[in-house]
Structure 1
């Protein structure tokens, strides 16, 4: 039977202070390692989300650029059509029948639509006139617009509608 506390500790084994300090230090190091691992994982997930956002942004910019390239190709086709026929076509469909690629007539963005053409213009019309534009704001709330002189602009939908209206007024006044 146990007679004293000293005998009890002696039977169970005495606590070695060196081992206790070693265990505490090991736990502190393990805690620091876990914190470092958590920090790396958190940083990596933040970088991953930033990378994903950058990819989406790059895709949107690429679609806006592809839309502008479509408009540039339409402008070149319209100029060639005008050289062959001494006027611009009555519609974009007539341009396709003449030989233009029908895929050019639509914005490549997922919510892109067919371009709007303002007929009745010739090379003597104002270079500021709108020739082709997007009615749907498919590029972060903006639309591409092609002017008669070949300039392409990225404007808000309201600005595009205002520019198209000015062109229609100039055409009406010219007649």
Structure 2
């Protein structure tokens, strides 16, 4: 019986050593590696989340600034179109002693047809009030747009070369005043 007990104990202690040896050499090393890997990956994940959040905030500010800049650039291009139309009208007047009867006549004479439309995505064609000349009151409206393509406002070009940015109602009122002055003059 003693032999059996010694034999059983010996087997049991061998099994315990084997299990304990396996735990110590394999599990501890793997466990440390896994824990370190998880910590590193967690820190990398937090870093990426922080960067994405920072970029998102900066990106939205950058995007907003770019949209405003583009909107201002389109409004400036519209003003430049109107100024170029006035220069073309003035050159036409020098050659023909009057402004043209229509903007189409101005294009046929040699003006760029792209000038006759607001460059804004929702902009329309410019409207022209014919029958005027350089000697008329400077407050008369020569060319204007009725579509509110610039933050709810429209550009208009006066005889004196001034370009204004007004609401559609104000533009229509100024165009009506010009038409009244032209009728009174006839």
TM range (shorter): 0.7 to 0.9
2:118 counterpart SS class:
coil
Bigger drift between 124-133 and 54-63 goes to 54-63
Bigger drift between 158-167 and 32-41 goes to 32-41
Q: What is the aligned partner in structure 1 of residue 77 from structure 2? A: 66
Residue 40 of structure 1 and its aligned partner are, at CA, apart by 3.0
* 1:38 aligned residue (38, 49, 56): 49
Which has more helix, going by share of residues? 2
Q: What is the aligned partner in structure 2 of residue 113 from structure 1? A: 124
The alignment's TM-score, normalised by the length of structure 2, stands at 0.75
Q: What is the aligned partner in structure 2 of residue 49 from structure 1? A: 60
The alignment's TM-score, normalised by the length of structure 1, stands at 0.79
Distance 1:125 1:171 in 2: 9
Residue 35 of structure 1 and its aligned partner are, at CA, apart by 4.9
Residue 38 of structure 1 and its aligned partner are, at CA, apart by 2.9
1:144 counterpart SS class:
strand
* 1:89 aligned residue (79, 96, 100): 100
Distance 2:178 2:54 in 1: 53
* 2:139 aligned residue (110, 128, 136): 128
Q: What is the aligned partner in structure 2 of residue 23 from structure 1? A: none
Please say which structure displays the higher CA radius of gyration: 2
Distance 2:97 2:156 in 1: 24
Residue 32 of structure 1 and its aligned partner are, at CA, apart by 7.4
Which ranges in structure 1 are unaligned for 5 or more consecutive residues?
1-12, 14-26
* 2:183 aligned residue (167, 172, 175): 172
Distance 1:67 1:88 in 2: 21
Q: What is the aligned partner in structure 1 of residue 16 from structure 2? A: none
1:146 counterpart SS class:
strand
* 1:102 aligned residue (89, 101, 113): 113
Which ranges in structure 2 are unaligned for 5 or more consecutive residues?
1-22, 24-37
Residue 58 of structure 1 and its aligned partner are, at CA, apart by 1.3
Quote the RMSD (CA, aligned, Å). Answer: 3.2
